[in-house]
Structure 1
């Protein structure tokens, strides 16, 4: 993957601080990476749920068994 450089002077300091507090991160790099991980995970969860709602996973065994 290509490396992307983010100019932290153009990042909203307040949003970065709030995100770091919420995510439990201590550096801007860690905050951005964790935020991206969480957004990607939410997108994957939405795709899975959409598939379940559409019935594409109906062939899965009943979780009760």
Structure 2
């Protein structure tokens, strides 16, 4: 039991099992991702907004 979200995040870093790296992306998945990026992503407004927010967060953390 923890008192707040900060404490919960700290507890999770100690308690959650560590994942092993997944390795390479299989060629069939890479092809599917590239197809999505070329043909679907340009019209996927919610995903484009999510990517913009993630990019903004990444830059904010680097400062």
Give the TM-score of the pair, scaled to structure 1.
Answer: 0.32
Give the TM-score of the pair, scaled to structure 2.
Answer: 0.33
RCO greater where, 1 or 2, for CA within 8 Å and sep 6 or more?
Answer: 1
Comparing both structures, which one devotes a greater share of its residues to helix?
2
